[in-house]
């Protein structure tokens, strides 16, 4: 079957004066429909730049990006195939939500990119109320401003905003890294449920191996702008081939540890937190 997204040889070079810096070099991967594909690597390894290039927020210096077999990045122009088809959720809802806008306007804003009939169909009061409730907030919250919410609630608003256009593909760029551990678990479980309910495909960016293991089917490990290893999460966790991947894995206390801290959330702790909330 053809992949939903295919990234081939993409690179991003930033220039400052006469200096140039390759943030991303020769990156290849593909994501099948319905899959969650993880990108992991240390800070500055190029993960966010890849997410931005796929969603058209940055233009690749070279390479190609295909979506449903159609070229997204043509080498000089980003072809947005269907408005709202692809969305992105950023790490920090504090800075990604406009503090002067009420929640209703924030969530509805992406619909502006859609043709009028589609905008009207997707932006009904009924759909808005169903969505805000589904992400765990209340209808009365629609009239409030971002500063009136906790970090976890703000990320739920960002998730609702990403889903209002009924996308098929969502880039999740460190969506829980700025949140408390117990809140992280709830938001990750919400993302899993929404994926199932809405047949979503995710590119999941994280620097946390445990989060990647919990969320993803396949993954790529990045170091200094390049992918050093790609494979199924199971294969990479049980038999890492690259020395950098081995180092990342060896820094995990234990995949079966009971310990819960900010750096390592185990699968067990997600389940425990999720059960507590239900």
- Residues that bind ligand ATP in the complex, under the rule CB under 6 A: 14, 23, 41, 43-49, 207
Closer residue to ligand ATP (CB): 47 or 141? 47
Question: In angstroms, what is the minimal distance from the CB of 207 to ligand ATP?
Answer: 5
Closer residue to ligand ATP (CB): 94 or 101? 94
Question: In angstroms, what is the minimal distance from the CB of 183 to ligand ATP?
Answer: 20
Closer residue to ligand ATP (CB): 156 or 207? 207
Q: For residues 150 and 39, what is the distance between their CA atoms, to the nearest angstrom?
A: 27
- In sequence order, the 6+-apart residues with CB closer than 8 A to the CB of 18 are none
Question: In angstroms, what is the minimal distance from the CB of 47 to ligand ATP?
Answer: 4
Nearest in space to 24 (alpha carbons), one of 223, 239, 258: 223
Q: For residues 195 and 173, what is the distance between their CA atoms, to the nearest angstrom?
A: 16
3-class SS of residue 241: coil
Q: For residues 61 and 248, what is the distance between their CA atoms, to the nearest angstrom?
A: 29
Distances (CA, A) of 59 to 12, 29, 187, 243: 8, 17, 30, 31
Question: In angstroms, what is the minimal distance from the CB of 51 to ligand ATP?
Answer: 8
Q: For residues 267 and 189, what is the distance between their CA atoms, to the nearest angstrom?
A: 11
Q: Where does residue 278 rank: exposed (0-12), middle (13-18), buried (19+ CB within 10 A)?
A: exposed
3-class SS of residue 51: helix
Closer residue to ligand ATP (CB): 3 or 46? 46
Question: In angstroms, what is the minimal distance from the CB of 246 to ligand ATP?
Answer: 19
Q: For residues 262 and 269, what is the distance between their CA atoms, to the nearest angstrom?
A: 12
Question: In angstroms, what is the minimal distance from the CB of 199 to ligand ATP?
Answer: 27
Element (H, E) at 240: none
Question: In angstroms, what is the minimal distance from the CB of 71 to ligand ATP?
Answer: 23
Closer residue to ligand ATP (CB): 224 or 272? 224
Closer residue to ligand ATP (CB): 27 or 72? 27
Closer residue to ligand ATP (CB): 47 or 195? 47
The owner of tokens 């810096």 is 21
A 10 A CB-CB count for 171 gives 25
Q: For residues 79 and 56, what is the distance between their CA atoms, to the nearest angstrom?
A: 8
């Amino acid at each position: 079957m053809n992949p939903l997204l295919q990234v081939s040889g993409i690179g991003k070079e930033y220039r400052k004066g006469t200096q140039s810096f390759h943030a991303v070099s020769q990156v290849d991967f593909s994501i099948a429909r319905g899959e969650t594909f993880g990108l992991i690597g240390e800070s500055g390894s190029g993960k966010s730049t890849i997410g931005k290039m796929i969603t058209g927020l940055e233009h690749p210096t070279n390479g190609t990006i295909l979506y449903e077999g159609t070229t997204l990045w043509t080498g000089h122009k980003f072809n947005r195939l269907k408005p709202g088809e692809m969305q992105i959720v950023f790490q920090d809802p504090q800075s990604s939500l406009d503090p002067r806008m009420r929640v209703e306007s924030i969530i509805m804003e992406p619909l502006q990119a859609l043709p009028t009939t589609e905008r009207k169909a997707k932006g009904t009061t009924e759909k808005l109320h169903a969505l805000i409730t589904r992400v765990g907030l209340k209808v009365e919250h629609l009239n409030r401003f971002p500063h009136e919410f906790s970090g976890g609630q703000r990320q739920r608003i960002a998730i609702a905003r990403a889903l209002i256009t009924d996308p098929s593909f969502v880039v999740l760029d460190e969506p829980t890294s700025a949140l408390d551990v117990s809140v992280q678990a709830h938001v990750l479980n919400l993302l899993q449920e929404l994926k199932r309910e809405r047949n979503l495909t995710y590119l999941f960016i994280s620097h946390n191996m445990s989060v990647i293991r919990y969320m993803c089917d396949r993954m790529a490990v990045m170091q200094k702008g390049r992918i050093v290893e790609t494979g199924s999460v199971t294969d990479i966790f049980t038999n890492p081939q690259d020395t950098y991947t081995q180092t990342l894995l060896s820094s995990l206390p234990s995949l079966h540890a009971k310990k819960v801290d900010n750096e390592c959330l185990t699968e067990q702790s997600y389940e425990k937190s999720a059960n507590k909330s239900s």
